[in-house]
Amino acid sequence: MPSMTPFAHHRPATLDDALALMALHGPDARVIAGGTDLVPRLRSGAASAAHLVSVGRIAELSRIAFDPETGLVIGAGARLADVGRHPEVQSRYGALADALSVMATVQIRTMGTVAGNLANGSPCADTASPLLVHEARVELARQGSRREVALEAFFRGPREVDLDPAEVLVAIHVPTPAPGARSVYLRMSARSRVDMAAAGAAALLVLDSKGRVERARLALTAVAPTPLRCPDAEALLAGQEPTADRLAKAAAACAAAARPIDDVRATAVYRRHVVGVLARRALERCVAGAKGGAR
């Protein structure tokens, strides 16, 4: 165990108590939810904290709720496994359900949270691209105030997010998708499930009554310093017939937007290639789904 520096572990029962602890300890405190990322980082010395504030016991943060008017709310304590099997997530937020079924292991999905997956700021966070194409916003609270930030703006760099030391990411808000919207997430890794993604792509498409693209959203995993939205590729699709050629052009624009690196999981060259392939396949599946086939 203890190569980690000592810390005090707090288990507040309410969000107010958690925010008071964060206000008191500020930069010396870290929120712990599932701990599946933070604990190994504390052990290796990559992260340190004098105070851990556990949010796992705060009932109001564990909610997963859907309302057609306001959309989906995923509380900061909601476990990956529970979000993934929520019927509204499965029926309306396909890309997110895809990510939650392919990432990590049963054990890690039981422990980890969507909020933690985002707040870690990892470019390879599997839930990030699906939530980007669904235009999620994150709700951040500190003692006495709250704010909402578009997920796209929340990511600032590798392990850097728009979260102040005294703030807690309390919920993720995802709007209700347009009727007929389809979204898909695909990822690639050397060892499947257990390993983190070497590259991933999420796509969302809405087709109009003539079968043309009314709305397209594309986002990429693990090919840039942050999870990456691809507005150039989206623009190539808007208003167009989703022909094979058109989808391939958009996928090529995704590959061009990528800024990958070489690391232990893949080379930059491979990442750029495969992310284009994944984007094309994700788009093809969206089109097939929107035209009435299975997602």
Partner 1 sequence: MTLETVELLVNGDRYRVTIDPRRSLAEVLREDLRLTGTKVGCNHGDCGACTVLLEGRPVCSCLLLAVEADGRPVTTIEGLAATPKDLHPVQKSFAERGAVQCGFCTSGMILSSVHLLEQTPEPDDLTIRRGLSGNLCRCTGYTKIVDAVRTAAAMPRRAEDR
Please report, as ranges, the residues that interact with partner 1 according to CB under 8 A. Answer: 1-2, 4, 6-9, 11, 32, 35-36, 39-40, 42, 52, 54, 56, 81, 104-108, 110-111, 192-194
Distance of closest approach, residue 189 Cβ to partner 1, in angstroms: 12
By beta-carbon proximity to partner 1, the closer residue of 49 and 169 is 49
Distance of closest approach, residue 50 Cβ to partner 1, in angstroms: 10
Distance of closest approach, residue 62 Cβ to partner 1, in angstroms: 12
Cα 42–chain centre separation: 22
Cα angle 196, 185, 270 (rounded to 5 degrees) comes to: 55
By beta-carbon proximity to partner 1, the closer residue of 108 and 268 is 108
Distance CA 286, CA 190 (A): 25
Distance of closest approach, residue 97 Cβ to partner 1, in angstroms: 15
- Beta bridge partner(s), residue 155: 161
Distance of closest approach, residue 237 Cβ to partner 1, in angstroms: 33
By beta-carbon proximity to partner 1, the closer residue of 85 and 142 is 85
By beta-carbon proximity to partner 1, the closer residue of 46 and 269 is 46
Which residues make Cβ contacts (< 8 Å) with residue 192, sequence separation at least 6? none
Residue ranges of alpha helices (H) inside the chain are: 15-25, 38-44, 80-84, 87-92, 94-102, 106-111, 114-119, 128-133, 151-154, 231-237, 244-257, 268-290
Strand order in the sheet with 213-221: 182-188, 199-207, 213-221, 228-229
By beta-carbon proximity to partner 1, the closer residue of 7 and 270 is 7
By beta-carbon proximity to partner 1, the closer residue of 195 and 284 is 195
Q: State both tokens at 112.
A: 């980890």
Distance CA 140, CA 149 (A): 8
- Beta bridge partner(s), residue 218: 203
| DSSP assignments along 234-266, one per residue | HHHHTTS---HHHHHHHHHHHHHH-----BTTB
Distance of closest approach, residue 22 Cβ to partner 1, in angstroms: 18
- The length of the chain is 295
Distance CA 180, CA 264 (A): 39
Torsions phi, psi of 268, nearest 5? -60, -40
Distance of closest approach, residue 46 Cβ to partner 1, in angstroms: 13
Distance of closest approach, residue 77 Cβ to partner 1, in angstroms: 12
By beta-carbon proximity to partner 1, the closer residue of 63 and 156 is 63
Distance CA 31, CA 53 (A): 5
By beta-carbon proximity to partner 1, the closer residue of 4 and 149 is 4
